Structure 1
């Protein structure tokens, strides 16, 4: 389960955050992605301001790792870049060929490298089992040389598993999967499309020889969301039944694929709503909803602890 997004300063390392993580662990979870974002101003800015507010501090990140490990969870540290003006990070991009006076991929990757290496050093010091070096960077995915160089640099300071979280439908488009240890993607596929998409992903897994899991997957508890699980702003009333229907279909389809290693489900907030508020909540978190009970039973049935 992903925990703590978007990593807003002041929301981690609190009693409320500790209670949230404990309740997440109680659902049979045995891995967590501690996900936090740093901002750049626009999709064409070249500075990732990871030391500034609202990004969580290093102390908060260390707290999150240690809290998770104290609960027996394995940790994937997941630093992510976001755009302050609301543009989706998939659209971060620059000219293919450098032009004098225009921002460049080289300038952006230099700043992004600093951000990721900083996280890698924390992950190494705190013995995180995995580090995710990027998330849904669709326009940047084609910059193979830069990603390979970044991964090589990460490996000089971090000795755990390295992964990259590509966006949905991009699994068979990346050309540098051999550089990471684990292939992961955002599996927000329509409820009736799982078999078709898993067939496609299976080809990637077989040709690469790499382990695979969904670094993100899930569905809002909202009417209509199973058909568009990636649309967090889709209009619709609250529906725990719809979220449960999606979870059941997703788990059933993935259970048929022996190469599928599991999910880092989306998501569990540091500031968790109360049980009384669950029925009216339309977000991704399954806490207090039918999908939460299903998740607990499913994870515990598979391993005795979680998936």
Structure 2
């Protein structure tokens, strides 16, 4: 395992989407405290800022509904007080509901049209603000983007942004590419850790790991799945990225997916862990777990499985 990550990433994403007023509350503190009980030693504190449409160039990260700086600092300090290592994960979303992967402009800037240069200027302000918080609070890892498929090809902009971030934040950087993009990104050399969203159909894990493995070998960098998981819903094992897939609640389906994923990745020592998706700032009651069909494994069979597998990862690392 890598010295950059200093052990396996037994992780869970917390707090998404970072709605103002939902962090720094007793309910949020209780939610976060439940994660270490499930073997979690890392957490991605994830929040989004909004731009109006995929063609807008202003990211309004200082405005509601995005969490405040005080809430972000609270979450970082709360996680650290519980013994977890912290990845800060600022993400941009579109207010009109379009998935961020579709944010995009003409390949070359032209007068009179919104441009990548304008967008990256706003994104730079958002990320440098997060980098300053990360440096001040001793964050262990900063994620500089998430599933920005159309933006991924803007290599010069990303390299310039990464250089600017390194002038503010002294810790390691990762970028969370989308599923199927691990072998398409051209600037992995600019970050310290390669990470991706591993929402792969349950029967394709071996094939996808075969595809990803040469990328990791070529770059010689640590890798983990910054997002992975499956809703506790019938049919979701074949479409784990589809949070709106119709189906009845099924903790068994989710546990099945976790088991296959953990087993496949255990055979690949270059997979250094997972940041499972996801754990809300306000948890449902344990009595309601069986009827909850979302990604959170709390109170479900997948939660017990995760605790066991994360314990195994920790034991293997300590040998």
TM-score with structure 1 length normalisation?
0.99
Q: Deviations over 1:153-208 (max 9, x none)?
A: 00001011100000000000000000000000000000000000000000100011
Query: Which range moved further: 95-104 or 192-201?
Result: 95-104
Cα distance, 1:304 vs. partner?
A: 5.0
Give the distance between the partners of 1:98 and 1:160, measured in 2 at CA: 32
Unaligned regions of 5+ residues in structure 2, if any?
1-11
Q: Deviations over 1:15-59 (max 9, x none)?
A: 000000000121010000000000000000000000000000000
8 Å CA contact 1:28–1:305 kept in 2: the answer is no
Give the distance between the partners of 1:6 and 1:153, measured in 2 at CA: 26
- What is the SS of the residue equivalent to 1:265? strand
1:238 aligned to 2:222? no
- For 1:181, the equivalent position in structure 2 comes to 192
Cα distance, 1:302 vs. partner?
A: 2.4
Give the distance between the partners of 2:312 and 2:127, measured in 1 at CA: 36
Give the distance between the partners of 1:304 and 1:14, measured in 2 at CA: 34
Give the distance between the partners of 1:181 and 1:301, measured in 2 at CA: 26
Give the distance between the partners of 1:42 and 1:60, measured in 2 at CA: 26
1:287 aligned to 2:301? no
Cα distance, 1:242 vs. partner?
A: 0.2
Q: Structure 2 residue aligned with 1:60, among 60, 66, 71?
A: 71
Q: Structure 1 residue aligned with 2:213, among 170, 179, 202?
A: 202
1:157 aligned to 2:177? no
Give the distance between the partners of 1:39 and 1:18, measured in 2 at CA: 25
Q: Deviations over 1:192-244 (max 9, x none)?
A: 00000000000100011110000000000000000000000000000000000
8 Å CA contact 1:30–1:306 kept in 2: the answer is no
Q: Structure 2 residue aligned with 1:299, among 271, 287, 310?
A: 310
Give the distance between the partners of 1:67 and 1:302, measured in 2 at CA: 24
1:190 aligned to 2:201? yes
- What is the SS of the residue equivalent to 1:267? strand
How many residues get paired? 307
Cα distance, 1:132 vs. partner?
A: 0.2
- For 2:62, the equivalent position in structure 1 comes to 51
1:211-222 correspondence runs (5 A): 211-222=222-233
Q: Structure 2 residue aligned with 1:228, among 233, 239, 242?
A: 239
Give the distance between the partners of 2:84 and 2:241, measured in 1 at CA: 26
- What is the SS of the residue equivalent to 1:279? helix
- For 1:29, the equivalent position in structure 2 comes to 40
Give the distance between the partners of 2:115 and 2:310, measured in 1 at CA: 45
Give the distance between the partners of 2:20 and 2:317, measured in 1 at CA: 29
- What is the SS of the residue equivalent to 1:222? coil
Q: Structure 1 residue aligned with 2:117, among 89, 106, 112?
A: 106
Cα distance, 1:97 vs. partner?
A: 1.8
Q: Structure 1 residue aligned with 2:282, among 263, 271, 283?
A: 271
Q: Structure 2 residue aligned with 1:9, among 6, 11, 20?
A: 20
Cα distance, 1:299 vs. partner?
A: 1.0
